[in-house]
């Protein structure tokens, strides 16, 4: 079974990754500084990356679900479309179909195959001259992650401070983003809640904990060691409630510097869905690029309306 993404997706993805020229045009000094950091990655600046939702692409073992074997079998097809590589949506074990609620950052979801399948995929991709970018979801994990399960209902857990907790009487803002946890008996524990920006099943990590920071960096190292060429960083602006928190920028700069020590030409593009003034600082020594959502939306609206909708 083959469920291939329309070529329009390929064309749109080519304009989604915005370098400093697009995002930092209001700050010439910052723009030039950022472009200087891109000089060592000229091939990335013009690369076309094909987004792949593995589950819906190609089924290699006839179980009705797209997998790594099916993707590997169709690499020539993707290359012949003009793609220089692939951006893979999350591939690690998770509870949901979309897999943005990761429960094991170091593995491959069994629905998609094995680690050996992934290694073969990377090897063949590189043999064809194609790069591999994977989705890293570091802002939050899934509620079934063993660390969160251990921390829930157990204040003595060594992973308790890996997540964000608060006495319910102290929660005065973002009330919709706080949730009661469950104890081992399955009942909700009253009086305290954990923070989850997106959903109750996606608890946020506590980036004020140095152990969490080290854990995230170990995840990046793991995948670079497996041959991955770069990362699409999900929810990059939400490490802290304040999307402009300097601590967020400091983490991404440290992450980038550490990863460059392993693979100097690695690439990181961030999902920062916000105004240009908020996006810009993420490109100052942190992300190599950020998605240009304004441009993408302008293209879609213009296509739907059959005329320029602010794109020009």
Q: What residues act catalytically?
A: 234, 271
Please give the DSSP secondary-structure letter assigned to residue 31.
Answer: H
Length of the chain in residues, anyone? 312
Say which residue the tokens 């990761």 belong to. Answer: 102
H helical segments located in the chain: 7-16, 20-23, 28-38, 42-45, 68-73, 75-80, 115-127, 146-151, 210-225, 246-262, 276-279, 293-305
Burial of 15 (0-12, 13-18, 19+ CB in 10 A): middle
State residue 244 phi and psi, 5-degree precision.
Answer: -105, 15
Q: Which residues, 6 or more positions from 41, have their beta carbon under 8 angstroms from its beta carbon?
A: 265, 267, 288
């Amino acid at each position: 079974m083959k469920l291939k993404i329309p070529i329009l997706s390929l064309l749109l993805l080519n304009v989604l990754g915005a370098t400093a020229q697009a995002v930092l045009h209001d700050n010439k000094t910052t723009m030039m500084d950022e472009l200087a950091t891109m000089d060592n990655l000229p091939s990335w600046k013009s690369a076309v990356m094909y987004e792949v939702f593995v589950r819906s692409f190609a089924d290699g073992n006839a179980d009705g679900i797209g997998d790594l074997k099916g993707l590997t079998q169709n690499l020539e097809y993707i290359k012949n479309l003009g793609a220089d590589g692939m951006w893979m949506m999350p591939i690690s074990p998770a509870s949901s179909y979309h897999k943005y609620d990761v429960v094991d950052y170091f593995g491959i979801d069994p629905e998609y195959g094995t680690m050996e399948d992934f290694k073969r995929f990377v090897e063949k991709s590189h043999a064809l001259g194609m790069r591999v970018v994977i989705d890293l979801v570091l802002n939050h994990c899934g509620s079934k992650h063993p660390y969160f399960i251990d921390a829930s209902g157990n204040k003595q857990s060594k992973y308790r401070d890996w997540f964000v907790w608060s006495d319910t009487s102290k929660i005065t803002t973002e009330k919709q983003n706080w949730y009661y946890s469950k104890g081992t008996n399955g009942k909700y524990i009253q009086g305290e809640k954990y923070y989850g920006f997106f959903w109750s099943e996606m608890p946020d990590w506590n980036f004020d904990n140095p152990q969490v920071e080290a854990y995230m960096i170990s995840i990046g190292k793991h995948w670079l060691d497996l041959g991955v060429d770069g990362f699409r960083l999900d929810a990059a602006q939400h490490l802290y409630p304040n999307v402009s928190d300097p601590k967020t920028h400091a983490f991404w700069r440290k992450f980038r510097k550490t990863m460059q020590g392993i693979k100097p030409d690695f690439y990181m593009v961030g999902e920062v869905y916000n105004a240009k003034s908020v996006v810009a600082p993420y490109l100052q020594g942190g992300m190599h690029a950020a998605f240009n959502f304004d441009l993408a939306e302008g293209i879609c609206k213009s296509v739907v309306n059959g005329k320029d909708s602010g794109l020009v």
